[in-house]
Amino acid sequence: MAGFLNLVSGYFSIPWLLIEMWREQRLNSRYGKFRGKVVLVTGASSGIGKELAKQLFKQGAKLILASRSTEKLLELRDELKSMQCSVPIYVPAVLTIDLEQVGELAGKSKEAWQLFGRVDILVNCGGMSVRGGVVDTQLHVYRRLMEVNYFGSVELTRNIVTRMVEEGCGLVVNISSIQGLISLPDRSAYSASKHAIQAFSDSLRAEVYSAGVRVLVVSPGYVNTELSLNSLTSSGEKHNKLDPTTLNGYSVEYVAKEIIRSILNEDKEVVLAPVHHRLVVVIRTLLPRIYFYIMQKRAQKNK
């Protein structure tokens, strides 16, 4: 049996490799579309946002690096400036944004637009997570997650999109999570915030389409970042642990490249997760009772 599987694997490996080479070549030939484009990336100081900024910078994008940590943004800017690139590059702008301070975001949006005179692409990548059960998680933790993951992104998007509509073009990329499509035990606060951004994006996509503004939602599965380290507990303390699922997740390099591919393909939605995780999304839609049973078993296992 093992010999048969190896034979089948070998038979399909060459065509698969050729397809991947073709996809890579096609992607490389289209990178020029980012040259001179103004891209505002929130959460740019770490994780997916940081890697995405690096890859876009190499393609000649005019970056606006945004996050709470000015120090980390300045370090990233210096790192980018030292890179050897084959295309003309632009010194990134740094914009300190705290998504939890929703009242400041209208002004921050205006400031972002003034840095290069426009914003062509807004990437909402900033966010946080929680490790805690529904009953144990305190209300102030739920509120904080919604402020950062939902209300902050909504307010920034509203103000940026207003100008995009006036210009008649633009793209909003919301980095959600597969947990915005399916909810897991002990992730209620995080899943709820991502469900919310998913629904917001669906409405926004329909409303601004005729104005020439596009919306892409990217829903990754587990990604090897510091998200779990910086997550909150049910009481609001720092989780400060690197979960095994996170450690074994996709690399940020892979996720950033797939996000870029989705932008270039003009996709509306993409789920970046293994087949068995994507299958759970389908089961939730078509066979909800089976999904509920699976989650019940998972919850019992976590106790």
Total tally of structural domains belonging to the chain: 2
Set 190, 222, 250, 291: catalytic member: 190
Phi/psi of residue 92, nearest 5 degrees: -65, 150
What is the pLDDT, as a whole number, of residue 8?
46
Q: Which residue has the higher pLDDT, 227 or 116?
A: 116
The answer to the question of residue 20 being in a domain is no
Q: What's 209's domain CATH number?
A: 3.40.50.720
**Together in a domain, 296 and 161:** no
pLDDT at 277: 93
Does one domain contain both 232 and 102?
yes
Residue 224 is encoded by which pair of tokens?
């090897």
Query: What is the tens place of the pLDDT at every residue in 131-186?
Result: 889 999 999 999 999 999 999 999 999 999 999 999 999 999 999 999 999 999 99
The Cβ of residue 217 has, within 10 Å, a number of other Cβ atoms equal to 26
| pLDDT over 90 (residue 11) | no
Q: Specify whether 293 is located in the same domain as 168.
A: no
* Residue 165 shares a structural domain with residue 279: no
Q: Are 250 and 224 in contact (CB under 8 A)?
A: yes
Cα separation, 202 vs 1, in Å, equals 46
Structure tokens at 58: 């190499």
26 within a domain of the structure (yes/no): no
Catalytic annotation present for 190 = yes
**What is the predicted pLDDT for the residue at 4?**
46
Are 152 and 85 in the same domain? yes
On whether residue 8 sits in a domain, the answer given is no
Q: What digits encode the pLDDT tens for the residues 14-47?
A: 665 565 565 566 555 566 899 999 999 999 999 9
Q: What are the structure tokens assigned to 151, written together?
A: 């209300």
Q: Assess contact for 159 and 110: CB atoms under 8 A.
A: yes
Instruction: Say if residue 114 is in the same domain as residue 198.
Output: yes
Do 77 and 155 sit in the same domain of this protein? yes
228 is a domain residue: yes
Residue 6 maps to a domain:
no
Beta carbons within 10 angstroms of residue 228's beta carbon = 20
Please tell me whether residues 89 and 52 are part of one structural domain.
yes
237 and 217 co-located in one domain: yes
pLDDT at site 237:
83
pLDDT at 122: 98
Q: For every residue of the chain, which 3-state class applies, written as one string?
A: CHHHHHHHHHHHHHHHHHHHHHHHHHHHHHHHHHCCCEEEEECCCCHHHHHHHHHHHHCCCEEEEEECCHHHHHHHHHHHHCCCCCCCCCCCEEEECCCCCHHHHHHHHHHHHHHHCCCCEEEECCCCCEEECCCCCCHHHHHHHHHHHHHHHHHHHHHHHHHHHHHCCEEEEEECCHHHCCCCCCEHHHHHHHHHHHHHHHHHHHHHHHHCEEEEEEEECCECCCCCCCCEECCCCECCCCCHHHHCCECHHHHHHHHHHHHHCCCCEEEECCHHHHHHHHHHHHCHHHHHHHHHHHHHHHC
* 230 and 295 share one domain: no
Question: What are the two backbone dihedrals, phi and then psi, of residue 284, each rounded to the nearest 5 degrees?
Answer: -60, -35
**Domain limits for position 268:** 33-272
| 19 in any annotated domain | no
Residues 303 and 290 in one domain: yes
Asked if residue 1 is part of any domain, the answer here is: no
Residue 117 has phi, psi (to 5 degrees) of 90, 0
Alpha-carbon distances, residue 117 vs 36, 38, 66, 112, 208 (angstroms): 12, 9, 17, 8, 21
Residue 5 falls within a domain, yes or no?
A: no
Assess whether 102 and 222 both reside in one domain.
yes
CA atoms of 128 and 230, how far apart (whole Å): 7
Non-local (6+) Cβ contacts of 152 within 8 A are 99, 100, 101, 102, 105, 126
Which tokens hold the place of 122? 């807004």
Mean pLDDT of 232-243: 80
